[in-house]
């Protein structure tokens, strides 16, 4: 892994995180590699002294946020309370994509907040990644009403925003979280485990065809934190996906 995406854990802390995920047995893929945590960039930061690339990313995020705030391409904008473009580092090597902000995210002004955020933080920490060193974003930029079925028009309206984010960041991997997100993004109706096998095998073989990439970046598919809170039996599968991600980053 790169030096900008790791956090070193002692064994007791690692065991605690893995127990939280329901994983009782763990063996490292490779010897531990220490890494320095990169600082998170906050909104409204003074750009004096920052690199041109970092300043550009801050300007891009502000512009995209303004575009989404003014967007009226679908009816979801009628119930939108707050625009939340992303969470985390603007220099991230990993982009994690959820389906949409939750209502609690709007209240907290932060994606993947509350119980789901705490689980996700522990999942990433188990493979030596700090949640502040990745980018968390959404396919749909507006929170969904209760019992809402996502339409193709909504996906088509929002996917260009996600594409812009990925093209700006140029991450090593885009990780799609959850069955609805994967089905909408890949435009396939297969169950999550089928989509996981398809994209994750392609990533292992470095076969990044149209089914295994987004905006030119390789894809991985796994469970969302919300799904894992509701389906604890799938935590071991999610752990397998995280180990794969860890190994690909170290190659």
| 63-77 pLDDT tens trace | 999 999 999 999 998
Does residue 129 surpass a pLDDT of 80? Answer: yes
Arithmetic mean of pLDDT, 149-165: 94
- pLDDT averaged over every residue in the chain: 82
Q: What is the CATH number of the domain that holds 87?
A: 3.40.470.10
Q: What is the pTM of this model?
A: 0.78
**Highest averaged pLDDT of the listed ranges 11-20, 53-62, 76-85, 176-185:** 176-185
| Residue 5 maps to a domain | no
Q: What was the pLDDT predicted at 236? A: 95
| Residue 6 maps to a domain | no
pLDDT band at 251 (very low <50, low <70, confident <90, very high): confident
| Residue 228 maps to a domain | yes
Q: What was the pLDDT predicted at 248? A: 92
| Residue 164 maps to a domain | yes
| 114-128 pLDDT tens trace | 999 999 999 999 999
Q: Are 146 and 192 in contact (CB under 8 A)?
A: no
Arithmetic mean of pLDDT, 190-205: 88
pLDDT band at 40 (very low <50, low <70, confident <90, very high): very low
Domain span at residue 19?
Answer: 11-250
| Residue 2 maps to a domain | no
| Residue 98 maps to a domain | yes
Does residue 212 surpass a pLDDT of 80? Answer: no
Cα(177)–Cα(161) distance, rounded to whole angstroms?
17
Q: Are 229 and 117 in contact (CB under 8 A)?
A: no
| Residue 1 maps to a domain | no
pLDDT band at 88 (very low <50, low <70, confident <90, very high): very high
| Residue 38 maps to a domain | yes
How many domains does one find in the chain? 1
């Amino acid at each position: 892994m790169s030096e900008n995406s790791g956090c070193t854990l002692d064994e007791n802390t690692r065991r605690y995180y893995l127990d939280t995920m329901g994983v009782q047995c763990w063996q490292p893929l490779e010897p531990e590699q220490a890494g320095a945590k990169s600082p998170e960039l906050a909104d409204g930061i003074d750009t004096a002294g920052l690199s041109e690339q970092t300043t550009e990313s801050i300007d891009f995020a502000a512009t995209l946020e303004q575009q989404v705030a003014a967007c009226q391409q679908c009816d979801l904008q009628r119930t939108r309370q707050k625009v939340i473009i992303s969470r985390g580092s603007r220099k991230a090597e990993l982009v994690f994509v959820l389906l949409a902000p939750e209502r609690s995210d709007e209240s907290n002004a932060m994606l993947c907040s509350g119980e789901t955020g705490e689980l996700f933080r522990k999942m990433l920490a188990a493979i030596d990644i700090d949640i502040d060193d990745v980018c968390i974003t959404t396919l749909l930029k507006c929170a969904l009403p209760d019992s809402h079925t996502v339409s193709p028009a909504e996906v088509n309206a929002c996917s260009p925003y996600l594409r812009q984010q990925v093209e700006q960041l140029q991450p090593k991997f885009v990780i799609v979280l959850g069955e609805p997100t994967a089905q909408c993004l890949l435009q396939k109706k297969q169950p999550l485990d089928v989509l996981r096998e398809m994209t994750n095998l392609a990533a292992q073989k470095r076969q990044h065809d149209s089914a295994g990439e987004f905006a030119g970046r390789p894809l991985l598919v796994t469970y969302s934190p919300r799904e894992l809170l509701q389906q604890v039996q799938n935590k071991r599968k999610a752990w397998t996906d995280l180990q794969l991600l860890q190994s690909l980053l170290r190659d």
